[in-house]
Amino acid sequence: MNIAIIGAGAMGCLFAARLAEGGQRVDLIDIDDRRISAIRSHGIDLSDDEGRRSIPVEVRQPSDASGVRDLVILFTKAAHSAAAIAAASHLVGPDTLGLTLQNGLGNADAMLSVFPGKRVLLGVTDYPSDLSDDTQIRSHGEGSIIIGPLERESLDHAETCAKAFQASGMNAYVEHDIFVPIWEKVGFNAALNAICTVAGMTVDQLNNETGHALIAAVIDEAVGVAKSAGVEIDHARISGKIVKATIQHKGHMPSMLQDRLNGRQTEIESINGAIVRQADEAGIAVPVNRTLTDLVRLIDRGR
């Protein structure tokens, strides 16, 4: 496929490297001239369970990209989604598919400003990715990608997209009701991202009694809020994924903690903050998520 990936952060670089290595035609789109220059000069230095290698990837500013793509993947932070997809709208044709694999809730809104609903795909991924020095990606441990259509009659588009990932050696599959895995990923991120960010810890450092209790409380609240929105999510499945992450992804810093350490705005508003807002609308108490949201907001304001 001819693919444009918008956002050269940790996840965008990981996916660009893996897809390019797998034979897909990939353009990585970003507005950071320093990172663009570094990737052009050195490629993406990927270290994963297969070893370490440098993978050349085409990278450019949105204004320097041309031609309609088969697939556009949005990997920016949620706060930048609308501007990012608008800047790359000239890459979208009538048959282009748009996929968001971003964290949090509400990501379809930006896609719908450019794509018709029948060509919008939503998804989640738990591939770990740590970025350093603009070009170095560390991704150890297993991961997967779950993709589903915004409109259920477009399931075949999700299958097409999943096959491109599978052809590049990535674990990808299609889910009919994508909002279940999206909400479960929100619960996963609300626990791991926010707690690690406040505590300044890697995921494996939460593998203790205190960490487990905090994680369980965050998930309990997320399950209740999702249910109020008509989405039934599985507490045990979320907990199991978190336990797996704390064991398999030792030393991994969640993206929110990476943002904190690098002085960037976090995605707290689209994760724990989104849980709090929906809880308020439903009249549900979520004291743990509210406290974590407020603590990360303080961190953001002190940047």
Residue with tokens 């085409």: 58
The per-residue pLDDT for 221 is 99
Amino acid at 88: A
pTM exceeds 0.85 for this model? yes
Band (pLDDT 50/70/90 cuts) for residue 248 is confident
The Cβ-side half-sphere exposure at 133, using a 13 Å CA radius, reads: 10
Q: Tell me what pLDDT residue 152 has.
A: 87
Q: Could you give the C-alpha distances from 242 to 126, 153, 159, 235, 247, in angstroms and in order?
A: 10, 32, 27, 11, 9
E strands, 61-176, where?
71-74, 97-100, 120-125, 130-132, 136-139, 145-149, 172-174
Q: Determine the pLDDT at residue 141.
A: 84
Q: Which domains does the chain have, with CATH numbers?
A: 2-176 (3.40.50.720), 180-301 (1.10.1040.10)
C-alpha dist (Å) from residue 119 to 6, 82, 122, 153 = 17, 17, 10, 10
The pLDDT score that the predictor gives to residue 79 is 87
Is residue 132 scored above 80 in pLDDT? yes
Average pLDDT over the chain, rounded to an integer: 96
Name 66's Cβ contacts closer than 8 Å, sequence gap at least 6: 90, 91
What letter would DSSP give residue 200?
A: T
